[in-house]
Amino acid sequence: MRLALLAALVVSSTAHADPASIARAIVVDQLGALHAPQAFIATLAPNAVILGNGSFALASSSNAPAVVATMMRPPLTQTFVNSVDAGEADGALWFSANVIFADASGCGGTDARLVELAVVDHDRWSVVAVSFASTSELTAPGDVLDRPHPGPLTTYLGSFTALEDALRDDRSTMVAVGDTAFGLGRGEARHALEPLHADGGTITQAIEVHRPRWGFAFGSLAIPGDRSAQVMLVAIPEGRFWTPVAVGVIAPGSTRLRCAYPPVTSTSLQSKTISP
């Protein structure tokens, strides 16, 4: 039934279906495949880029399954979709989801925040970029991206202040800083980035992709004090400029300590949506 629901929403993508409903169906489909990292990767575009708990991976890379596997601690028994927010413009769908896994964390559950970009490909929504931060405390070796090249999106990665100023003035603009801060709408999104102003650094590696109607960039920053941050940025063209609409940041202190989330119980989550 889950796949049937997703197919119906995908077909209606060009008929102005509700962006949040489409995004929720995509997330539910992804999480239903999370029993095996390779199955989760199969829900993405073949050339998708992943940022997971601080590591980058191309979907086609041999490192991708290990990076995806850091999202939670197996075995996974249940997945709860806490919230989904989305925006859409001209064949690009950006969204963020907060999900909770009943897993082997020993905490009663692992909390995760995802930010993704899906684009229309032959009348189907295809996820081309995804970032996530979770309380699993798991990490994995990832891929090394290219040396940074000048580009309209990569430029934003080196300055959180410039990125904040450039955010689209729309209620669908979103910023997630780890799993500790989330802002929806330009005002809240700017507020989520404010604590990072002092963390401007040097871009050490990056990848930038843009098509006529959408674009994204991933990058890693070297921050003074022997620290680092990883960023995923989604943007759409408006006039002569690229305007950021969704940002996922993994920075020092942006992920809660393990067991910070209240234990998962049927009572605490009775109002949440449970994936099939």
Which pLDDT belongs to residue 241? 93
pLDDT of 184 = 96
Examine residue 120 and state whether it is found in any structural domain, yes or no. Answer: yes
Q: How many domains does the chain have?
A: 2
Is 147 inside a domain boundary? no
Please, which pLDDT band fits residue 35 given cuts at 50, 70 and 90?
Answer: confident
Question: Average pLDDT of 134-143?
Answer: 92
Residue that the structure tokens 């202190």 belong to: 253
pLDDT value of residue 275: 35
pLDDT of 273 over the 70 cut: no
| pLDDT above 70 (res 32) | yes
Residue 123 reports pLDDT greater than 80: yes
Tokens standing for residue 253: 């202190």
* Residue 196, pLDDT score: 85
Q: How confident is the model at residue 76 (pLDDT cuts 50, 70, 90)?
A: confident
In this structure, the answer to whether residues 123 and 34 fall within a common structural domain is yes
**Residues 130, 170 share a domain:** no
Q: HSE, CB side, 13 Å, CA atoms: give it for residue 59.
A: 18
Residues 122 and 40 in one domain: yes
Query: Are 87 and 194 in a shared domain?
Result: no
Whether 176 is covered by a domain: the verdict is: yes
Q: Which helix (H) or strand (E) holds 247?
A: strand 241-250
Predicted pLDDT of residue 267: 38
CB 145, CB 218: distance < 8 Å: yes
User: Does position 201 have pLDDT exceeding 60, yes or no?
Assistant: yes
CATH number at residue 182: 3.10.450.50
- pLDDT in the model for residue 270: 35
The residue range of the domain holding 218 is 154-250
Site of tokens 């909770």: 100
Inside any domain, residue 109: yes
Alpha-carbon distance of 261 to 161, in angstroms, equals 30
Same domain for 260 and 246? no
pLDDT exceeds cutoff 70 at 216? yes
166 and 88 fall within a common domain: no
Domain identity same for 63 and 130:
yes
What digits encode the pLDDT tens for the residues 139-195? Answer: 999 999 988 887 899 989 988 899 999 999 999 999 999 888 999 999 999 999 988
Q: What percent of the chain has pLDDT over 70?
A: 84
Over its C-alpha atoms, the chain yields an Rg (Å, rounded) of: 17
